[in-house]
Amino acid sequence: MVRRAAYPAAADPEPNAGAPRDVFVTKLLQTFRLGVKSLLLHKLRSALAVLGILIGVTAVIWLVAMGEGVSHQAQQQIKDLGATNIIVRSVKPTMSSSAAAAGSFFVEYGLKGDDLARFRSIPSVIGTVPLRELNQKDARYLDRQLDVRIVGCRAQYAELNQLRIASGRFIADEDERNVENVCVLGSETARTLFRYEDPLGRSILLDDKIYVVVGVTEFRDATGSIGGSFSGQDYNRDVYIPLETLKARIGTMVLTAKAGGREGEIVDLSQITVTVRDIEDVDETSSIIRRLLERFHPNNDYALVVPKELLRQAEVTRMMFNALLIVVAGISLLVGGIGIMNIMLATVTERTREIGIRRALGAKQRDIVYQFLSETLVLSATGGLLGVLLGFSVPYVVMSARWFVGEFFPAAMASIPPNIRDIAPRIAPWSVIAAFFISIFVGVVFGMYPARRASQMDPIDALRHE
């Protein structure tokens, strides 16, 4: 038999209860306590309902955190290029018909010294950094060998690409003026060729010519590819030499052995990085550069990369990605809400006689609604709070998963690209707030129907229920 004391009706306040506001707060706390007691009668069922909301809230926070981590890394790579920079790269076209007709396997393309002079003449340009790069070249020291990327550059290249010197120095202006045979090694190049020896002052064989090592760079994280025109860079396997030295010792004509034959190319410059005075001048300057390239490069053998534009595109992509992740995670919250509705409908059926007794004692329909809504709010709020707490653990979970894979599956970890392997999730404060309040909203929406159904029961029929 149901005890009357456990299910008090919405009785009038005591004579000395105070202001109406105090009465309302008292009734609210009483309703809340009754909701908690009712849920504790079925601990397992309530825990499962809380679990559904918990998973949904955690999914929102975790997915957004991973998306923010990926987006932050991509945006940081773009920012490293410089918001006031414009990058022009040489792009190899298909073999021209005239070259094919002449039977030549040399393809001449890309940027030239004349382009560098034209870019410098633009009023808003305050600096230009040209370079020439050669991939898959052989670097040797004694019996040690490594395929490296040779980069012919100038002194400004180190600052532009945020290269720090571990020992020695970088390429100097005097090296280029005097066409010196000196080089600076990337960290991995130095470690592979010299192991435990000090490379400074020693000579290496680079493309069949001897160069003296004057510096070694610190380790630098590799960058991912951006779009289709800017490939990823691994600065640690580079060898830097003066640009004029590269032109004098190696030249602009390079012959490469390919399967089934040989292939040659004639390239003056691989890339020119143009720095403008102010970020407001980037759009206008890039338009001028584009018109110059269209005029003097009809073969379309170039690519124009504007980090400022890429940054705007990355911001839009991040917003779209987050919206998609929220929709995906919101499905989990929807499932949790359906679980709450299912449980509350079962609860209403089980407590039909209790509802009849409360109505007979004077409880109004809104009191019954408040009672069952309080229970759904307890479930959803508890799940939301636990989900938020679990959501903050995403950095530790990712770190532990990374350690586990690296410890027990090193080959699989090594096969993952560095820019993916090193992604760090970033918890967005707005996602925490949004996930919690969405869980409350889900509890109210999915708890309203069972609450209204309970309140609309006929008291007489409810009392007859067995």
In eight-state DSSP terms, residue 5 is G
The answer to whether residue 237 is domain-embedded is yes
Residues 131 and 257 in one domain: yes
Q: Are residues 288 and 333 in the same domain?
A: no
- Note down the domain range covering 170: 92-300
Q: Are residues 324 and 184 both part of a single domain?
A: no
Residues 230 and 341 in one domain: no
- Assess if residue 6 is contained within a domain: no
Which of 248, 271, 300 is a domain's end point?
300
Residues 248 and 281 in one domain: yes
Per-residue pLDDT of the chain (466 residues; tens, 9 = 90+): 444 444 444 444 444 444 566 665 666 666 667 667 767 777 787 888 888 888 888 888 888 888 888 777 776 766 666 778 888 999 988 655 444 444 456 788 899 999 999 999 999 999 999 999 998 889 999 999 999 999 999 999 998 888 899 999 999 999 999 999 999 999 999 999 998 899 999 999 998 899 999 999 999 876 655 554 555 678 899 999 999 999 999 888 876 655 555 677 889 999 999 988 887 788 889 899 999 999 999 888 899 888 776 667 767 777 777 777 777 777 777 877 888 888 788 777 777 777 788 777 777 878 778 778 888 888 888 888 998 999 898 888 888 888 888 888 888 877 776 666 777 888 888 888 888 888 888 888 888 888 888 777 777 766 666 5
Do 253 and 266 touch, CB atoms closer than 8 A? yes
Last residue within a domain, chosen from 272, 300, 328: 300
Same domain, 257 and 374: no
Shared domain check, 135 and 255: yes
Residue 185 belongs to some domain of the structure: yes
- pTM more than 0.75: no
Do 257 and 197 meet the contact criterion of CB atoms below 8 Å apart? no
Is residue 13 included in any domain, yes or no? no
Answer yes or no: do 254 and 140 share one domain: yes
The last residue of one of the domains, among 235, 269, 300, is: 300
Q: Are residues 61 and 190 in the same domain?
A: no
Domain-embedded: residue 273: yes
Is 38 domain-assigned? yes
Residues 377 and 459 in one domain: yes
Q: Are residues 140 and 282 in the same domain?
A: yes
Whether residue 415 lies inside any domain: the answer is no
Number of domains into which the chain is organized: 2
Long-range contacts, 336-339 (Cβ 8 Å, 24+) = 336/49, 336/51, 336/52, 336/53, 336/54, 336/55, 336/56, 336/380, 336/383, 336/439, 336/442, 337/52, 337/53, 337/380, 337/442, 337/443, 337/445, 337/446, 338/446, 339/48, 339/49, 339/52
The answer to the question of residue 123 being in a domain is: yes
Based on the domain organization, do 103 and 67 belong to the same domain? no
Q: Which one-letter amino acid corresponds to residue 32?
A: F
**What whole-number distance in Å separates Cα of residue 322 and Cα of residue 373?**
31
Q: Is 345 exposed, middle or buried (0-12, 13-18, 19+ CB in 10 A)?
A: middle
